[in-house]
Amino acid sequence: MRVAVIGAGIVGVAIAHALLDQGHAVDLVDRDGIAAGASAGNAGWIAHVDILPLASGKAWRNLPRWALDPLGPLSIRAAYLPKLLPWFARFASASRPARIEASTLAISALNSRALPAWERRLEALGLGHHLRRHGLLSVWSSEAGWRAAGPLIERQRALGAPVEALDATALQALEPALGPRARFGALYPSGCHVSDPRNLTLDLGRSALQRGARLLPMEAVSLRRGEDVGFHHSLGTALYDAVIVAAGAWSKPLAASIGDHVPLDTERGYNVTLPSGRLGLSRPVMFEGEGFVVSPLDTGDRVGGSVEFAGLEASPNYARVDAILTRLQRFLPQAELSGGTRWMGFRPSMPDSLPVIGAAPDEPRILYAFGHGHYGLTQAAATAEIVADLLAGRQPAISIALYSPRRFAERF
């Protein structure tokens, strides 16, 4: 088949490879080239041990504290609030215990396939050197926070992720740069990260081109369906046997152009990348309850996180990065944190923290693969395998019912 993949972020390039495996002719369509969106600057975690949706007790527990701090881990720009209300209503609804449980199982099903899928893909392409297997570490400063995490850690273990509980002494021994504020820790030895998310995406994109894919530097303005499927662009219409929409946070208007209204919004995230080694950490660390993580990437020590609801147009508020660094300094008292490069990116986020993967309700030749939120890098290779199965008419290895574009039936 001739297939257009709209979006050359990590999800799009992973899909391109899965389709090339099947002998399809692939056009990667991106207005800004490979790795132009969120996939360029994320934290680089293969966070396959994570299982909780954002709409969970953990977020609601922290919400009152976060809401009072305009530069805290979560914020909503006042001007954007009216636009966000439908998404937020869905988020609240997804926070009911039965929905949290369903989302947890659906995240876990996809994440359980995430690392093996990446291993298969990277080994096959000779790109295995991008994986760093140093584990992932979560730290807590308060005993109450640590205790509250107990049930989640037990659940992760039950779902097959090894977790080592660490006290302050063990934390110090593991990561000597951590100061006394880091009192409790959970080490996920099977967790890993990548060399640098942009370099990984670029390498995957280049190797897709070497395998015969074409890169079309153009913007898809809307989708086309009818006798033929394809997309409209500024110079006309491109027709294909199938179209995959993997345009990250910008996928919503494309789906809407053929009548599919999905409550996709963006959780904007920020980071700063410092020269390598500045933090003195040997593995990625999540500072629980603080809303930021650090990643010792090959290209520098990256500090970032935060969730800001302000849409796709508002300019970045880099004061958020400074606030993150102030909070980080309390955990890494000796680290020199000045002089980094700042970045802001758009997580493509659904209210239930599940991606949209599946055929357009009325057009099996148009498939959606977007909305991976905090886990797009983690889940891209597994998503790509599902998309290739769907295009071939095969049953995917896991149920995709909960990723369905139909799950939010109402118009937004």
Ligand X SMILES: Cc1cc2nc3c(=O)[nH]c(=O)nc-3n(C[C@H](O)[C@H](O)[C@H](O)COP(=O)(O)OP(=O)(O)OC[C@H]3O[C@@H](n4cnc5c(N)ncnc54)[C@H](O)[C@@H]3O)c2cc1C
For ligand X, the closer of residues 73 and 345 by Cβ is: 345
75 lies in the site for ligand X, by CB under 6 A = no
Alpha helices in 126-250 (DSSP H): 143-148, 150-158, 168-174, 197-210
For ligand X, the closer of residues 250 and 403 by Cβ is: 250
Bridge partner residues of 231 (DSSP): 223, 238
Which among 35, 153, 55 is positioned nearest to 102, based on CA atoms?
Answer: 55
Among 377, 382, 387, 400, binds ligand X (CB under 6 A): 377
Among 4, 9, 136, 327, binds ligand X (CB under 6 A): 9
Among 12, 53, 73, 191, binds ligand X (CB under 6 A): 12
SS3 content of the chain, % helix, strand, coil (to 5): 40, 25, 35
Q: Choose one: 34-42, 63-71, 139-147, 272-280; the region binding ligand X (CB under 6 A).
A: 34-42
**Parallel, antiparallel, or unpaired: how do β-strands 214-216 and 131-132 relate?**
unpaired
CB of 129 to ligand X, least distance (A): 19
Site string for ligand X, 205-244 (x = CB under 6 A): --------------xx------------------------
5 lies in the site for ligand X, by CB under 6 A = no
Q: Which residue is nearest to ligand X (CB)?
A: 376
Strand order from edge to edge, sheet including 363-370? 214-216, 25-29, 2-6, 242-245, 363-370, 356-360
For ligand X, the closer of residues 72 and 345 by Cβ is: 345
Among 53, 248, 263, 340, binds ligand X (CB under 6 A): 248
396 lies in the site for ligand X, by CB under 6 A = no
247 lies in the site for ligand X, by CB under 6 A = yes
6 lies in the site for ligand X, by CB under 6 A = yes
CB of 158 to ligand X, least distance (A): 22
304 lies in the site for ligand X, by CB under 6 A = yes
Local structure of 247: helix, strand or coil = coil
> What's the CA gap between 189 and 137, in Å, rounded?
8
List Cα–Cα distances, 365 to 14, 23, 61, 300, in angstroms.
Answer: 19, 17, 42, 42
* Residues of this chain, 308-367, that bind ligand X according to CB under 6 A: 345, 347-348
269 lies in the site for ligand X, by CB under 6 A = yes
List Cα–Cα distances, 343 to 6, 39, 274, 308, in angstroms.
Answer: 24, 12, 12, 13
Token pair, residue 15, equals 């899909």
- Termini Cα distance of the chain: 33
Among 11, 94, 400, 402, binds ligand X (CB under 6 A): 11
38 lies in the site for ligand X, by CB under 6 A = yes
> What's the CA gap between 401 and 412, in Å, rounded?
21
| Token pair 């670029």 in the structure block, residue | 202
For ligand X, the closer of residues 142 and 352 by Cβ is: 352
112-148 core/surface letters (b: 16 or more CB in 10 A; e: else): bbbbebbeebbeebebeebbbeebbbbbbbeeebbeb
Q: Choose one: 27-35, 93-101, 144-152, 333-341; the region binding ligand X (CB under 6 A).
A: 27-35
For ligand X, the closer of residues 170 and 256 by Cβ is: 256
Question: What residues make contact with ligand X under the rule CB under 6 A?
Answer: 6-12, 29-32, 36-39, 42-45, 47, 219-220, 246-250, 254, 269, 271, 304, 345, 347-348, 370, 372-378
